Amino acid sequence: KNEVEQSPQNLTAQEGEFITINCSYSVGISALHWLQQHPGGGIVSLFMLSSGKKKHGRLIATINIQEKHSSLHITASHPRDSAVYICAVGDGNQFYFGTGTSLTVIP
Amino acid sequence: DGGITQSPKYLFRKEGQNVTLSCEQNLNHDAMYWYRQDPGQGLRLIYYSQIVNDFQKGDIAEGYSVSREKKESFPLTVTSAQKNPTAFYLCASSGTLNEQYFGPGTRLTVT
């Protein structure tokens, strides 16, 4: 059983669309992270959340601690948003990772 | 600025050679971690260290070794015993007050 589940696994969107990626986790956590990885590239940390909601530009991340669920939203999607988005949770002892959501935004 | 540095971003080695991946942090974090990512798979824990001079094996430690002689450094050596070393390697650290950071990663190719 995976401690972190993401959905969808793959997502294709038209430029300008509103995108939502979901993450559910089963362990007790101290923080949840959303990471971005471009093909062949490194990891970029987008958000670290322990409660509520954070916004950075066109990206919004929310977390519901009671439901053990987080969402990453991308407004007005752009082809440069095409990447793999990974949800990770830390419980103070280690991190657990989802398998990622591969997003392709078509012009 | 505080953060985690992993170098190099891309690394190429011949089969049979040991290779050491660097991970440095200036966050004063006690705990550091190494993860491996294979195509289409999630990241898996190789080794972690909660304190200087101590480290523990993770889920896939075979063929790897680490050291933690300094708080800020946690190098990972991929030995010739690792059967499939080509992968993406990610270093992370965590401290008090929910501080958790990830490095940018190193992509290792062994031919």
**Of B35, B41, B102, Cβ closest to residue A45:** B102
Chain A CB within 8 Å of residue B42 CB: yes
Whether B96 shows a pLDDT value over 80: the answer reads: no
Residue to test with chain A: of B35, B59, B94, B106, most A Cβ within 10 A: B94
Q: Supply angle C-alpha A47, B38, B83, rounded to 5.
A: 140
Tokens of A97: 């990772």
Q: In A, residues 54-73, which contact B (CB 8 Å cutoff)?
A: none
On chain B, the residues whose CB falls within 8 A of the CB of A43 are 90, 102-105
Give the span between the Cα atoms of B95 and B105, in whole angstroms: 19
Q: Who wins on pLDDT, B27 or B41?
A: B27
Where b means 16+ CB within 10 Å and e means fewer, A24-59 reads bbeeebebbbbbbbeeeebbebbbbbeeeeeeeeeb
Residues in B touching A45 (Cβ below 8 Å): 101-102
User: Which of A37, A90, A99 is nearest residue B100 as measured by Cβ atoms?
Assistant: A90
Q: What is the pLDDT of residue A30?
A: 86
Give A67-100 pLDDT, tens digit per residue: 999 999 999 999 999 999 999 998 878 899 999 9
Residue-wise pLDDT tens digits, A9-56: 999 999 999 999 999 999 988 899 999 998 888 899 999 999 999 999
Residue A94 is nearest to which of B33, B101, B105, comparing CB atoms? B33
pLDDT tens profile A36-45: 998 888 899 9
Q: SS3 for A79?
A: helix
Q: What is the mean pLDDT of residues A57-71?
A: 97
Say how far apart CA B102 and CA A98 lie, in whole Å. Answer: 15
Among B residues 60-89, those touching chain A with beta carbons less than 8 Å apart: none
